[in-house]
Structure 1
Amino acid sequence: MAMVGSEIERLIKDAFPEGHVVVVDLAGDGDHFAARVTSEQFRGKSRVQQHKMVYDALQGHMGGALHALALETLVPA
């Protein structure tokens, strides 16, 4: 079963409550999403570490209910 964008956004916001999260359904099929996450928690972390933090926030849904996620992580200016 596919995930809805609001559930993806909620999971990420729960892990990064001070952050700014935008989730977009790229294909309208509930399987291909893009997420832009801006968080101070990313400061000093490599891009790989940042993405792992977001994937961890998705609590195992990546590769299952969530098929594809184009991810952009940013540190606030």
Structure 2
Amino acid sequence: MDPARIQTLIETGLPGAQVEVSGDDGVHFEATVVAGQFAGKLPLARHRLVYATLGELMGGAIHALALKTLTPEEAAARQR
């Protein structure tokens, strides 16, 4: 599994999301996902939305995925 494929899957599952994925060993990855769909949701619910875009790959081809999930407003505030 490569980071670009994971990025594409997340972007497809969460239209409009801004996604950055990294990982060098092919099974452990880190992703930052900025999506309007996260508004009003707790971190666990946000992570579940991302995991749902990856389906059966989680726990299989993707052994671990560390997530940072932000709304566009939260992302903008971090850049100030």
What TM-score results when the alignment is normalised by the length of structure 1?
A: 0.90
SS in 2 for 1:55: helix
1:52 deviates by 0.2
Structure 1 ranges of 4+ moved more than 3 A? none
Distance (Å, rounded) in 2 between the aligned partners of 1:60 and 1:41 = 22
Q: For structure 1, which runs of at least 5 residues remain unmatched after alignment? A: none
Distance (Å, rounded) in 2 between the aligned partners of 1:60 and 1:49 = 18
Q: CA RMSD in A?
A: 0.7
1:53 deviates by 0.3
1:16 aligns with 2:14: yes
SS in 2 for 1:73: strand
Q: Match of 1:75?
A: 71
Tell me the alpha carbon deviations over residues 2-49 of structure 1, each in whole angstroms, 9 at most, x when there is no partner: x11111011000012211000011xx2111110000000000111100
Q: What is the percentage of aligned positions where both structures have the same residue?
A: 45
Distance (Å, rounded) in 2 between the aligned partners of 1:53 and 1:43 = 12
**How many residue pairs get matched?**
73
Q: For structure 2, which runs of at least 5 residues remain unmatched after alignment? A: 74-80
Comparing both structures, which one devotes a greater share of its residues to helix? 2
Q: Match of 1:61?
A: 57
Distance (Å, rounded) in 1 between the aligned partners of 2:67 and 2:56 = 16
